[in-house]
Structure formats: structure tokens, C-alpha cells
A and B are shown apart, each in its own frame.
Chain A
């Protein structure tokens, strides 16, 4: 995406002026007059032997990087067919022509004069804002034929174009990481489009509303046009409000778990994350999501949602290790009732059995804990004990979690109602910092009756919920078999990390730390990972 600014065009002029040959063994930095002068690993640029290219941006605008590692001038002129940005001469860009597809099934494109200001990688709302004429996933995107055409850490992948009935083009997107963009919404209920490129591992929509008397969330999700399957319908709302559909809490949960994508609208902010489980698998194509505000009785509200999309891209080996950063925030824990058990002991959190416990749990999913940061928050006494029923307070605390990379973990003195050990959004806005739900909260009073490893299990459980896992079974699942997570190799026992209870039953043995392969797969798709 940065290829236009890496080398000035003048550097490339030397490529075309090949002449003379001092012997073909000139080394790095030696003078040369042509590629044949330099030894095999080098090419001649501006009369100096320099390393051969691996990516086109090393060559500059109007040049491609050939299979042999030599920078080659692009020859495509205005109106001529192209497949990649590197096909077009300087001053032109390769732009999609319309909805017409070529023999290879990809959208046709041609070299076109550059008019717009925004460079590849800049945020955009529409194609005509981009110099390269293509706005995908909220960013100006270069067309490509091969990953060699893209910048470092970028990958050439198939990307669907919603306006062309989901026909594909190939564009340069990050090889690994997340792409985040805002989606403008103009009414209380509107359809938004989420393009799912070839290397997407998960996608989430973070929907927000300032009016806490209404809920915000998805009303419907449809899979890409080729199948058009309904993946989600908003569950009925248990409510006695006039006009509301009669629905008991139990029926609402049934509807919730019947959906292939698990999601529940909520006041202030909610997150729609897919996939929720093993099936259906992510499809390349455009998902259509009806976002809405909701009145308490479930009817459409009056608030206009704000929507941010986050797509996790990962072209790496599915089984390779992934890294999760943790950011700890300590509220004022001085004079805590459980001080004798270490509740005010920050070093114990950062170096003792607690952190070791977290590392052990996530290692089971082949996720290693990366950087660990911590800071204290001693000037917010009103949040030291967090009343989870007060959504404004929850939002005030979690918005202090400014890091969008990794997970923000807040240690408070206690949670209200008393007895509640932890709180987290499920799922959370992974990859986004500073929102009203950007973190998980752990009450330190649990240390009065549990040990550090138990607190580690508790924290890992909440982090996993934030990252997209659900309770493996819910309370009441014996009577309601639907009330369980949508993981194919699901483990319904108390030995699982996601068991809803901290104790396994009357034996009062602590619940376990196991993670199934299916659960590990969901965790490893999270935008919270590096």
C-alpha cells in the first residue's frame, strides 16, 4: 500500500538505461551500468548494484517486481486492460470497470487516470475517494495479480465487491492483523454490508448508541448472495411492554441459541461476531446485516446506531502459534478486605501463579501471552467497586481500556451484586480500545475465598468470552438441550474452561481448564490477537 513513496521515479530510470558490463560480479554498492554487471543476487539501479526486489513497492510507481527480482517498467496505458496496479504506467491506476467479469471469473479492470487524493491504505467510504479507484473494507485497496505486487506484510487475496453482485477482484490486504473501519448509518434501522475477503478469519460489528433506554444490535444477518441463508434473527424480547411479542425468558433463550450466529442486542453497545462456532464456516462474499436500535418491547427504536466493523485477516498457517497481549488496570485496592491474601499485591498478579495460570490456559489453544502491561487508576473512586447494573459506570470504566491490541483486564475491589466474580461483554469489541465495552472486569474480593490459580481460571474464562467463546453449557441445559455453545466437538462437562459455574457441583471441586480444538479455533480467530 505504501509502494508509491518508497523510491523516487528517477531511481528507476537507470533500469531502462542498461549498458556496459564490467564483468558480472560487481557487489552490493559497486558501480554498474546494467543488471548484467552485478552478481546474481543484485540488480543495477541508478548505476549502483542493489538487492533485487521482492515486492513491487521497492521499485516505485509505474514498476512491477518481476519473478526474477528485477524491477520492470509498467507499460499499461490509459484504457488498456490490467489485472494489477503494477500493470499501469506511472500516473495511472488499475481500476475496476464495472460488474463485468473476465474469463478467470474476476472483475475486469483497466488503467485509468488517477484523480482522487486518497492513497492505498487510507480510509474511504466510496471508490471515487481513492486514487486507485477501489474502496474495500473501508480502505483504498490496490488491485494485484500476485502478492509480489503488494507491500511488505500484505497479501494478494480475492475480495468480494458488493456493488458487483459479489463478483471478486484480487486486492492487496494485510497478511495478518485486523482491518477496522466505520460504516455510516443514517436511520434507526439500516442494512450494512460486510465484505469477507479470502484471508478473513472473523468479522465483528460493534454497534453503539448513546441512549441507554434503548438497545442496539443486529436484527438480521444474511450470508453472501450465493447462498443467502439467514444466519441470525433477533430473539424475541421478554417484556411486558404494550405491543411486545409475548415471550418468556426461557423462550427468548431458545430463540437466541437457535441462531447459527449468537448475538443479543444490548443497551449502549453490542457486538455481532461471526463465526460463533464451528458451522457455518466463513464464506468469501458480502454478509448483509440489518442493524437497528430497539425499544424495550423489541420494536425498532428511534436512535441511530454507530457502527464499526473489524475484520481479522490471517493468511498464516492455521495451526501456527498466535500471540495475545494483556493490559492490566488496577483500581485503588489499598486496604482491601482480602489484602492478607494478596488482593492489593500488584506484583503477585504480574509474576506469580496467576499469570502462569493464564499462560497455561491459553497455551492449550496454542496462544502465547505476549507483552504484559499494567497501570494503576487511583483517581476514580466511584469505580473502585463496580455496580454491573449501572451500565454508565461499566462504560466509564471499560472505556479507560485504551488498548485495541490484546485484552484490557480491570481489577476492581469488588463487583455488585455481591457474589458476582467477573464481568465481560460476550463477545467483546476485540481489536477496539476505548469503547464502553473494551475490557473484562475481575473483582478482587474473590481472593478472600479462592486462590490465585482460581482467579486465573476466572480471568481466562472472561477473556475467552470476550474473544468469542460462549459457556460450553448454560445453567438449565439439562432441561433445555439447545442452551450450549455451537462448537462441534463440544465438551459439556465441568472440566471445560467455559463451564458456566466455578464449581463442578455438589462435590465443590473447582471447574477445569480444558479447551477443545473447536474452541481453540474460535479463540485463534479473534481480532484481539497480534
Chain B
């Protein structure tokens, strides 16, 4: 799924982060502040200002991928850059591919002790992938793995919050073909998921009109 360029950048980012892993990696005051606002999400201007001179686009994927960071910081880093940076998160960009990687990682995580935190990380990555509005069928497929498949007796993610976020993200991705695959999830046992399916089907209808 990763392009060659994307893999190289991601590898570089992870290598840069390695010395810090497990040792409470250091962020500057400005970097912590921009990623710990109580009631506002970071703006692109705020991120660029805080992450000078290295640049937010280079640093945020690293922070998002590093569980040694404070979870509050990490959660805000995961969706931080994409929504406000048109073109920075489209297909085959490092930010997009990091999100795909995070979803696969936390979907398959087995550390029971970290389960609540991993659920939050997964939900954040799912939401952020939806916000890329990539329209990619493979992104839709990835999100569907979180929803399960009754016909194939494959369970979805146990957290209704993750399933609800996955449905909403499918709607946001704006791939009109996703409509048909979402219908079966109107029978999800969770009313929260069902409510999101209804919203997503409406969103996808609007995508079809564009």
C-alpha cells in the first residue's frame, strides 16, 4: 500500500523516533502546547509555528506512531495535520500511509492492558483516514475489516466506538461504491453504529451527486 517514496519517508521518520521510544520522548513546550489544547484542535498555522524549523508534516507522523508519548498528545497528533492541509494527506502521501499503518497496527494489537488506549488510538486513526476523503477503495476495504462480515462469519472490532467511527469514516471517504457494502451494517447490534450507517449512506448519496 505504501509507495516507495512514502516508505522511505516513513522509515526515516521512524528511525528518527527510535532513540526516544520507551523513554518519554522529548517535545518542546510549544509542541506540547499545540497538541494539548483543551477545547480546540490544532490549526495548520499553529502546528507550523510550533514545529519550526523541522515542520509539522515531518514530525507529526512520528509522534502519532510513537506510543511512548503521552496519550493525549498522541491522540491529537494522529488527526492533526490532515484535515487542515489540503493535498498533504491524499493517497500515497506519508501522512495517509501512516494512518493506514496505525489502523492495521491497533486493529491487530493484542495487549489487553493497553486495550482501552489502543481503542482510542484506533478510533483516532480511523477518523483521520476518513478526513482524508481519499475515495480509495482500498481505504474502504481497510475500514470494513473493522466492521466484520456476517456472511463470512468474521467478527468486527469489539468496540462499538471503533465500528461507529469506521462507518462514519467510510461515509467521509466519499467513494460512492461504498453505499452497497454499508447496508448490511444497518443490522449491527449497536444503535450507535446503526445511526452512523444512516448518516454515512446520506453522505455517500451526496458524494454521488458531486
Once the chains are docked, how many angstroms separate the CA of A192 from the CA of B29?
45
Q: Is B182 an interface residue (CB 8 A)?
A: no
Once the chains are docked, how many angstroms separate the CA of A359 from the CA of B178?
49
Q: Is A420 an interface residue (CB 8 A)?
A: yes
Per the 8 Å Cβ criterion, residues 483-530 of A in contact with B are: 500-503, 505-506, 508
Q: Is B71 an interface residue (CB 8 A)?
A: yes
Q: Is A259 an interface residue (CB 8 A)?
A: no
Q: Is B76 an interface residue (CB 8 A)?
A: yes
CB-contact partner of B120 in A249, A340, A445, A458, under 8 A: A445
B79 contacts A506, CB within 8 Å? no
Q: Is B41 an interface residue (CB 8 A)?
A: yes
User: When A338-B116, A414-B123, A417-B127 are in contact, do A385 and B161 touch as well, CB less than 8 Å?
Assistant: yes
**Residues in B whose Cβ lies below 8 Å from that of A413:** 161, 192
CB-contact partner of A475 in B46, B120, B160, under 8 A: B46
User: When A249-B45, A449-B117 are in contact, do A381 and B33 touch as well, CB less than 8 Å?
Assistant: no
Per the 8 Å Cβ criterion, residues 382-430 of A in contact with B are: 382, 384-385, 387, 413-414, 416-424
Once the chains are docked, how many angstroms separate the CA of A450 from the CA of B38?
13
CB-contact partner of B159 in A337, A450, A476, under 8 A: A337
Q: Is A341 an interface residue (CB 8 A)?
A: yes
A341 contacts B116, CB within 8 Å? yes
Q: Is B56 an interface residue (CB 8 A)?
A: no
A381 contacts B36, CB within 8 Å? no
CB distance from A425 to the nearest CB of B (A): 11
**Residues in A whose Cβ lies below 8 Å from that of B71:** 448-449
B83 contacts A508, CB within 8 Å? no
Once the chains are docked, how many angstroms separate the CA of A332 from the CA of B31?
34
Q: Is B166 an interface residue (CB 8 A)?
A: no
User: When A422-B38, A448-B71 are in contact, do A381 and B194 touch as well, CB less than 8 Å?
Assistant: yes
B75 contacts A465, CB within 8 Å? no
Q: Is B170 an interface residue (CB 8 A)?
A: no
A449 contacts B127, CB within 8 Å? no
Once the chains are docked, how many angstroms separate the CA of A420 from the CA of B76?
7
Per the 8 Å Cβ criterion, residues 33-50 of B in contact with A are: 33-34, 36-41, 43, 45-46, 49
**Residues in A whose Cβ lies below 8 Å from that of B55:** none
CB distance from B171 to the nearest CB of A (A): 11
CB distance from A258 to the nearest CB of B (A): 19
Most B CB contacts (10 A, CB to CB) among A337, A382, A449, A465 go to: A337
CB distance from B210 to the nearest CB of A (A): 18
A503 contacts B127, CB within 8 Å? no
A419 contacts B124, CB within 8 Å? yes
Q: Give the interface size bracket for B toward A.
A: 35 or more
A475 contacts B37, CB within 8 Å? yes
Enumerate 19 A-B pairs (CB-CB under 8 Å) in ascending A order. Answer: A337-B116, A382-B192, A382-B199, A414-B123, A414-B161, A416-B127, A417-B83, A418-B75, A419-B75, A419-B80, A420-B40, A424-B39, A449-B117, A461-B39, A462-B38, A475-B33, A502-B38, A503-B70, A505-B32
**Residues in B whose Cβ lies below 8 Å from that of A420:** 39-41
CB distance from B117 to the nearest CB of A (A): 6
Q: Give the interface size bracket for A toward B.
A: 35 or more
Q: Is B11 an interface residue (CB 8 A)?
A: no
Q: Is B110 an interface residue (CB 8 A)?
A: no
Contact indicator per residue, chain B 72-112, by CB within 8 Å of chain A (1) or not (0): 11011011100100000000000000000000000000000
17 more CB-based (< 8 A) A-B contacts, given A385-B164, A475-B37:
A335-B159, A381-B190, A381-B194, A382-B192, A384-B192, A387-B168, A413-B192, A418-B120, A418-B127, A419-B78, A423-B39, A475-B46, A500-B33, A501-B33, A501-B37, A506-B27, A508-B32
A449 contacts B70, CB within 8 Å? yes
Residue of A nearest to B41 (CB): A417
Contact indicator per residue, chain B 131-170, by CB within 8 Å of chain A (1) or not (0): 1000000000000000000000000000111001100100
Once the chains are docked, how many angstroms separate the CA of A177 from the CA of B165?
44
CB distance from B5 to the nearest CB of A (A): 27
B39 contacts A421, CB within 8 Å? yes
A448 contacts B32, CB within 8 Å? no
CB distance from B201 to the nearest CB of A (A): 13
**Residues in A whose Cβ lies below 8 Å from that of B199:** 382
**Residues in B whose Cβ lies below 8 Å from that of A424:** 39
Contact indicator per residue, chain A 426-469, by CB within 8 Å of chain B (1) or not (0): 00000000000000000001101110000000100110010000
User: When A381-B194, A458-B38 are in contact, do A419 and B32 touch as well, CB less than 8 Å?
Assistant: no
A503 contacts B36, CB within 8 Å? yes
Per the 8 Å Cβ criterion, residues 1-44 of B in contact with A are: 26-29, 31-34, 36-41, 43
CB-contact partner of B45 in A250, A419, A501, under 8 A: A250
